[in-house]
Amino acid sequence: MAGTKTLNAMARDGTGKGAARGVRRQGRIPGVIYGGGDAAAPVSLDYRELNKLIYAGHFLTTIFELDVDGAKQRVIPRDYQLDPIKDQPLHVDFLRLKPGASLRVEVPVHFINQDICPGLKKGGSLNIVRHAIAVRVPADAIPEAVVADLASLQINDSVHIDAILLPEGCKLTQRERDFTIATIAPPLVAAEETTAAAPAAATATAAAAAPAPDAKGKTAEPAAAPVAAAAKAPPKGKK
Protein backbone atom coordinates (compact mmCIF):
# COMPACT_ATOMS: atom_id res chain seq x y z
CA MET A 1 0.00 0.00 0.00
CA ALA A 2 1.24 3.47 -0.87
CA GLY A 3 2.40 5.41 2.17
CA THR A 4 1.27 8.83 3.38
CA LYS A 5 3.78 11.65 3.40
CA THR A 6 3.72 15.16 4.78
CA LEU A 7 4.13 18.10 2.42
CA ASN A 8 4.14 21.79 3.29
CA ALA A 9 2.44 24.39 1.14
CA MET A 10 1.44 28.03 1.27
CA ALA A 11 -1.79 29.65 0.12
CA ARG A 12 -1.21 32.05 -2.78
CA ASP A 13 -3.13 34.93 -4.25
CA GLY A 14 -3.93 35.28 -7.90
CA THR A 15 -4.19 32.81 -10.73
CA GLY A 16 -3.10 32.78 -14.34
CA LYS A 17 0.24 32.73 -16.12
CA GLY A 18 1.50 36.01 -14.71
CA ALA A 19 0.87 34.99 -11.10
CA ALA A 20 2.42 31.58 -11.74
CA ARG A 21 5.60 33.12 -13.16
CA GLY A 22 5.86 35.35 -10.10
CA VAL A 23 5.66 32.30 -7.83
CA ARG A 24 8.43 30.53 -9.78
CA ARG A 25 10.70 33.57 -9.50
CA GLN A 26 10.48 33.11 -5.72
CA GLY A 27 11.80 29.53 -6.00
CA ARG A 28 8.39 27.97 -5.51
CA ILE A 29 6.03 25.95 -7.70
CA PRO A 30 2.36 26.92 -8.18
CA GLY A 31 -0.32 24.31 -7.54
CA VAL A 32 -4.05 23.89 -7.09
CA ILE A 33 -6.12 21.78 -4.69
CA TYR A 34 -9.55 20.84 -6.03
CA GLY A 35 -12.39 18.34 -5.56
CA GLY A 36 -14.17 17.04 -2.52
CA GLY A 37 -17.06 19.48 -2.95
CA ASP A 38 -14.94 22.51 -1.97
CA ALA A 39 -13.72 25.41 -4.09
CA ALA A 40 -10.35 25.17 -5.78
CA ALA A 41 -7.53 26.55 -3.63
CA PRO A 42 -4.31 27.89 -5.25
CA VAL A 43 -1.14 27.03 -3.32
CA SER A 44 2.62 27.14 -3.79
CA LEU A 45 5.25 24.57 -2.83
CA ASP A 46 9.00 24.57 -2.33
CA TYR A 47 10.73 23.78 -5.63
CA ARG A 48 13.48 21.54 -4.22
CA GLU A 49 11.13 19.46 -2.08
CA LEU A 50 8.61 18.96 -4.89
CA ASN A 51 11.27 18.15 -7.49
CA LYS A 52 12.76 15.51 -5.20
CA LEU A 53 9.37 13.88 -4.59
CA ILE A 54 8.51 13.74 -8.30
CA TYR A 55 11.76 12.08 -9.30
CA ALA A 56 11.71 9.68 -6.34
CA GLY A 57 8.92 7.76 -8.08
CA HIS A 58 5.33 6.81 -7.22
CA PHE A 59 4.43 10.50 -6.94
CA LEU A 60 0.98 10.12 -8.52
CA THR A 61 0.04 7.20 -6.26
CA THR A 62 1.23 8.69 -2.98
CA ILE A 63 -1.20 10.24 -0.52
CA PHE A 64 0.04 13.46 1.08
CA GLU A 65 -1.04 15.21 4.21
CA LEU A 66 -0.77 18.71 2.83
CA ASP A 67 -0.11 21.37 5.46
CA VAL A 68 -1.35 24.68 4.04
CA ASP A 69 -0.40 27.39 6.54
CA GLY A 70 -1.23 25.09 9.46
CA ALA A 71 -4.46 23.63 8.01
CA LYS A 72 -3.98 19.97 7.07
CA GLN A 73 -5.87 17.99 4.46
CA ARG A 74 -5.36 14.66 2.70
CA VAL A 75 -4.65 14.94 -1.02
CA ILE A 76 -3.21 12.94 -3.90
CA PRO A 77 -1.38 14.42 -6.90
CA ARG A 78 -3.43 14.06 -10.08
CA ASP A 79 -1.12 15.75 -12.58
CA TYR A 80 2.03 17.81 -12.89
CA GLN A 81 3.76 19.72 -15.66
CA LEU A 82 7.48 19.70 -16.43
CA ASP A 83 9.51 22.19 -18.42
CA PRO A 84 10.00 20.53 -21.84
CA ILE A 85 13.68 21.52 -21.94
CA LYS A 86 14.88 21.54 -18.34
CA ASP A 87 12.53 18.81 -17.00
CA GLN A 88 11.80 20.96 -13.96
CA PRO A 89 8.33 21.06 -12.35
CA LEU A 90 6.14 23.97 -13.45
CA HIS A 91 2.77 23.18 -11.89
CA VAL A 92 1.02 20.49 -9.85
CA ASP A 93 -2.64 19.59 -9.25
CA PHE A 94 -3.87 17.91 -6.07
CA LEU A 95 -7.19 16.14 -5.47
CA ARG A 96 -8.80 16.33 -2.03
CA LEU A 97 -9.54 12.97 -0.45
CA LYS A 98 -12.67 12.81 1.65
CA PRO A 99 -13.40 9.84 3.97
CA GLY A 100 -14.71 6.87 1.97
CA ALA A 101 -13.57 8.30 -1.35
CA SER A 102 -12.33 6.12 -4.20
CA LEU A 103 -10.31 7.16 -7.21
CA ARG A 104 -8.85 5.94 -10.49
CA VAL A 105 -5.08 5.46 -10.55
CA GLU A 106 -2.45 3.88 -12.79
CA VAL A 107 -0.70 1.15 -10.80
CA PRO A 108 2.68 -0.13 -12.13
CA VAL A 109 3.23 -3.82 -12.87
CA HIS A 110 6.25 -5.47 -11.26
CA PHE A 111 7.62 -8.74 -12.71
CA ILE A 112 9.14 -11.39 -10.45
CA ASN A 113 11.06 -14.69 -10.91
CA GLN A 114 12.73 -13.62 -14.12
CA ASP A 115 15.84 -15.55 -13.04
CA ILE A 116 13.98 -18.90 -13.05
CA CYS A 117 11.64 -18.28 -15.98
CA PRO A 118 12.11 -21.25 -18.40
CA GLY A 119 11.42 -19.15 -21.48
CA LEU A 120 13.97 -16.50 -20.54
CA LYS A 121 16.56 -19.14 -19.66
CA LYS A 122 16.17 -20.59 -23.16
CA GLY A 123 17.03 -17.25 -24.72
CA GLY A 124 13.58 -15.66 -24.94
CA SER A 125 12.97 -12.02 -24.09
CA LEU A 126 10.32 -10.35 -21.96
CA ASN A 127 8.01 -8.23 -24.11
CA ILE A 128 6.04 -5.93 -21.78
CA VAL A 129 2.69 -4.94 -23.27
CA ARG A 130 1.43 -2.93 -20.29
CA HIS A 131 3.75 -1.30 -17.77
CA ALA A 132 0.77 -0.18 -15.65
CA ILE A 133 -2.93 -0.93 -15.31
CA ALA A 134 -5.78 1.46 -14.56
CA VAL A 135 -7.77 0.55 -11.44
CA ARG A 136 -10.30 2.14 -9.10
CA VAL A 137 -9.32 1.79 -5.46
CA PRO A 138 -10.25 3.20 -2.05
CA ALA A 139 -8.33 6.39 -1.35
CA ASP A 140 -6.81 4.90 1.79
CA ALA A 141 -5.70 1.64 0.12
CA ILE A 142 -3.78 2.57 -3.02
CA PRO A 143 -1.39 -0.28 -3.97
CA GLU A 144 2.18 0.60 -4.89
CA ALA A 145 2.20 -2.09 -7.60
CA VAL A 146 0.67 -5.33 -8.82
CA VAL A 147 2.83 -8.41 -9.32
CA ALA A 148 3.17 -10.64 -12.40
CA ASP A 149 4.90 -14.00 -11.78
CA LEU A 150 7.07 -15.34 -14.64
CA ALA A 151 8.17 -18.55 -12.88
CA SER A 152 6.39 -21.02 -15.20
CA LEU A 153 6.36 -19.20 -18.53
CA GLN A 154 7.79 -20.84 -21.63
CA ILE A 155 8.67 -19.20 -24.96
CA ASN A 156 5.52 -17.78 -26.64
CA ASP A 157 3.58 -17.90 -23.34
CA SER A 158 1.73 -14.80 -22.13
CA VAL A 159 0.74 -13.25 -18.83
CA HIS A 160 -2.88 -12.08 -18.77
CA ILE A 161 -4.62 -9.88 -16.25
CA ASP A 162 -6.63 -12.86 -14.94
CA ALA A 163 -3.36 -14.37 -13.67
CA ILE A 164 -2.62 -11.32 -11.51
CA LEU A 165 -4.00 -11.13 -7.99
CA LEU A 166 -5.44 -7.67 -7.39
CA PRO A 167 -5.50 -6.19 -3.87
CA GLU A 168 -8.79 -6.18 -1.97
CA GLY A 169 -11.11 -3.40 -3.10
CA CYS A 170 -9.15 -2.90 -6.34
CA LYS A 171 -11.25 -3.00 -9.52
CA LEU A 172 -10.14 -2.78 -13.13
CA THR A 173 -11.42 0.13 -15.20
CA GLN A 174 -10.65 -1.35 -18.64
CA ARG A 175 -13.58 -2.97 -20.39
CA GLU A 176 -11.34 -5.37 -22.28
CA ARG A 177 -11.42 -8.82 -20.72
CA ASP A 178 -8.30 -10.80 -19.82
CA PHE A 179 -5.97 -8.45 -21.66
CA THR A 180 -2.28 -9.29 -22.10
CA ILE A 181 0.30 -7.87 -19.70
CA ALA A 182 3.47 -9.40 -21.18
CA THR A 183 4.73 -12.19 -23.43
CA ILE A 184 7.90 -14.26 -23.69
CA ALA A 185 9.18 -13.63 -27.22
CA PRO A 186 11.31 -16.30 -28.96
CA PRO A 187 15.05 -15.67 -29.43
CA LEU A 188 16.34 -14.10 -32.64
CA VAL A 189 19.37 -16.42 -32.93
CA ALA A 190 17.73 -18.80 -35.43
CA ALA A 191 16.81 -15.95 -37.77
CA GLU A 192 20.32 -14.52 -37.57
CA GLU A 193 21.88 -17.92 -38.33
CA THR A 194 19.64 -18.36 -41.38
CA THR A 195 20.59 -14.93 -42.66
CA ALA A 196 24.31 -15.64 -42.17
CA ALA A 197 24.04 -19.07 -43.85
CA ALA A 198 22.56 -17.67 -47.08
CA PRO A 199 25.79 -15.95 -48.34
CA ALA A 200 27.84 -19.04 -47.39
CA ALA A 201 25.52 -21.30 -49.40
CA ALA A 202 25.74 -18.97 -52.40
CA THR A 203 29.54 -19.03 -52.23
CA ALA A 204 29.61 -22.84 -52.07
CA THR A 205 27.29 -23.11 -55.08
CA ALA A 206 29.46 -20.74 -57.12
CA ALA A 207 32.61 -22.70 -56.22
CA ALA A 208 31.03 -25.99 -57.31
CA ALA A 209 30.01 -24.52 -60.67
CA ALA A 210 33.50 -23.12 -61.42
CA PRO A 211 35.65 -25.21 -63.89
CA ALA A 212 38.41 -27.31 -62.36
CA PRO A 213 42.09 -26.62 -63.33
CA ASP A 214 43.84 -29.02 -65.76
CA ALA A 215 47.07 -30.95 -65.14
CA LYS A 216 49.16 -27.83 -65.80
CA GLY A 217 47.23 -25.82 -63.26
CA LYS A 218 45.36 -23.80 -65.86
CA THR A 219 41.67 -23.36 -65.69
CA ALA A 220 39.92 -24.73 -68.73
CA GLU A 221 37.95 -22.26 -70.76
CA PRO A 222 34.24 -22.81 -70.57
CA ALA A 223 32.80 -24.69 -73.48
CA ALA A 224 31.53 -22.47 -76.29
CA ALA A 225 27.85 -22.33 -76.83
CA PRO A 226 26.76 -24.62 -79.68
CA VAL A 227 26.77 -22.80 -83.02
CA ALA A 228 23.51 -22.76 -84.85
CA ALA A 229 23.33 -25.36 -87.59
CA ALA A 230 24.52 -24.10 -91.01
CA ALA A 231 21.92 -23.27 -93.57
CA LYS A 232 20.83 -26.29 -95.56
CA ALA A 233 22.86 -26.66 -98.86
CA PRO A 234 20.84 -26.31 -102.07
CA PRO A 235 20.14 -29.47 -104.08
CA LYS A 236 22.56 -30.59 -106.82
CA GLY A 237 22.23 -28.77 -110.07
CA LYS A 238 20.80 -25.66 -108.48
CA LYS A 239 22.71 -22.55 -107.58
Q: What is the 3-state secondary structure (H, E, C) of 56-94?
A: HCCHHHCEEEEEECCEEEEEEEEEEEECCCCCCEEEEEE
pLDDT tens, position by position, 216-226: 555 555 555 45
DSSP 8-state code for residue 219: B
Rounded distance between C-alpha atoms, residue 176 and residue 159, angstroms? 15
Arithmetic mean of pLDDT, 110-137: 95
Residue 51 has pLDDT above 90, yes or no: yes
Least confident range of 2-6, 49-53, 133-137, 201-205: 201-205
Residue 234 has pLDDT above 70, yes or no: no
Q: Which pLDDT value is given to residue 169?
A: 87
Q: Which pLDDT value is given to residue 230?
A: 45
Q: Which pLDDT value is given to residue 231?
A: 47
Q: Which pLDDT value is given to residue 99?
A: 82
Domain parsing of the chain, residue ranges: 4-98, 104-189
pLDDT tens, position by position, 86-120: 999 999 999 999 888 888 989 999 999 999 999 99
Arithmetic mean of pLDDT, 9-18: 86
Overall pTM > 0.75: no
Superfamily for domain range 4-98: Ribosomal Protein L25; Chain P (2.40.240.10)
Which CATH code fits 104-189?
A: 2.170.120.20
Q: Which pLDDT value is given to residue 229?
A: 46
